[in-house]
Amino acid sequence: MSGPSLRRRRRRPRDPEATMTLVAHLTELRNRVAKALLALALGTVAGFLWYDHGLLTFLSEPYCSLPADLRFQGDENCRLVVLDVFGGVLLRLKIGLIAGAVLSSPFWLWQLWAFITPGLKRNEKRYAVTFVAVSTLLFSLGAVLAYVTLYKGLELLLQLAGDEVAFQLTAPDYLGFVISLLVAFGLSFELPLIAVALNLVGVLSHAALARSRRWIFFLTIVFAAFVTPTQDPFTMLAMALPMVLLFELAIQIARVVDKRRARRDAIEHFHGLSDDEASPLDATPTPLDAAPTPPDRLLAGDAAPADGPGARSR
């Protein structure tokens, strides 16, 4: 036989029910994780190279934009301080790893969804690409909002030390603070999306969300107070207010989804009735004495008169 025909015979037939053994699941998981780690490694290399070409300047800009009296007076070039020999290398690796995780997030999120998707229904698979795109967008919006509010938060915190104090921040402390703030805002904006996902799979209903609306808003403010690294009211409100709006949007989306689901279930139940099964529209028939026959129908002979069946023999 020729080479192509042998390859065609050796190829395994597709399983129409998408059933896999445990070994096959573990093999697929290993391959997905390997691809995700490869994408993370390439993103880390890109972040490591990007460190000296604008990334460090971008992260240091909120601190360098502060008034000069809040920074160390001898630091005219606004340089961050490193106090140990290996601090610079470890700092660059840390920033490169985080930047690589963000840059490669669409790819490793897709690998995660590709592993989960075979276990989902066909109508649930359609949401995979949408959720990856929306989650990436929400994380980016949260990080951008954190970066915009970072200047005001830093200025407020540094002013609390008094007029006689000038700050010269170390690079690990400052950059760790900035990254933690960006990640906290980005992940917080994902919580309303999780509520929508739970509603789409039928775990969380609109009625439950609507009943818990006040508690959700209250816990959102408490969550923002604990999660924000600055702990100042300005940054807390900057996180809490958009989250409240996103949760309200999630509740409205759940309302629309539940209405469509109820309408679809009613239609499927009606069309799924057998020929011997009564329609739900006829489940409560009207009594005869409550619905008398009109006189015109009696004259036309469409119904029997009240004196009994013997009158039909006219």
80 and 160 both lie in a single domain: yes
pLDDT of 280 reads 53
In a domain, 301, yes or no: no
In a domain, 277, yes or no: no
Q: What are phi and psi of 167, to 5 degrees?
A: -105, 140
In a domain, 278, yes or no: no
- Between 270 and 290, the more confident residue is 270
Tell me the C-alpha distance between 250 and 256, whole Å.
10
Q: What DSSP state is assigned to residue 302?
A: S
Mean pLDDT calculated for residue range 198-220 = 86
Q: What is the mean pLDDT of the chain?
A: 75
40 and 139 both lie in a single domain: yes
134 and 263 both lie in a single domain: no
| pTM (predicted TM-score) | 0.65
In a domain, 102, yes or no: yes
Share of the chain above pLDDT 90, in %: 4
Q: What are the structure tokens assigned to 305, written together?
A: 């008169």
Q: What are the structure tokens assigned to 172, written together?
A: 């690990």
Say if CB 156 and CB 236 are below 8 A apart.
no
Residue 189: which pLDDT band, with cuts at 50, 70 and 90? confident
86 and 195 both lie in a single domain: no
Residue 103: which pLDDT band, with cuts at 50, 70 and 90? confident
In a domain, 14, yes or no: no
Q: What are the structure tokens assigned to 157, written together?
A: 């915190």
In a domain, 5, yes or no: no
Buried b (16+ CB within 10 A) or exposed e, 128-143: beebbeebbebbeebb
94 and 230 both lie in a single domain: no
pLDDT of 42 reads 92
Say if CB 91 and CB 35 are below 8 A apart.
no
Say if CB 69 and CB 166 are below 8 A apart.
yes
Mean pLDDT calculated for residue range 68-94 = 74
Q: Is the pLDDT of residue 25 over 60?
A: yes
90 and 174 both lie in a single domain: yes
- Between 269 and 199, the more confident residue is 199
Domain count for the chain, please give it: 2
The angle formed by the CA atoms of residues 132, 265 and 276, to the nearest 5 degrees, is: 150
96 and 149 both lie in a single domain: yes
139 and 264 both lie in a single domain: no
Mean pLDDT calculated for residue range 69-86 = 70
pLDDT digits (tens, 9 = 90+) for 106-143: 788 777 777 766 655 665 566 677 777 888 888 888 88
| CA–CA distances in Å: residue 90 to residues 44, 94, 264 | 13, 6, 56
Nearest to 246 by CA among 187, 193, 182: 193
Q: Which domain holds residue 205?
A: 190-269
Q: What are the structure tokens assigned to 279, written together?
A: 């329609």
Q: What are phi and psi of 206, to 5 degrees?
A: -65, -35
- Between 100 and 162, the more confident residue is 100
Q: Is the pLDDT of residue 284 over 60?
A: no
pLDDT digits (tens, 9 = 90+) for 54-72: 888 888 888 888 777 666 6
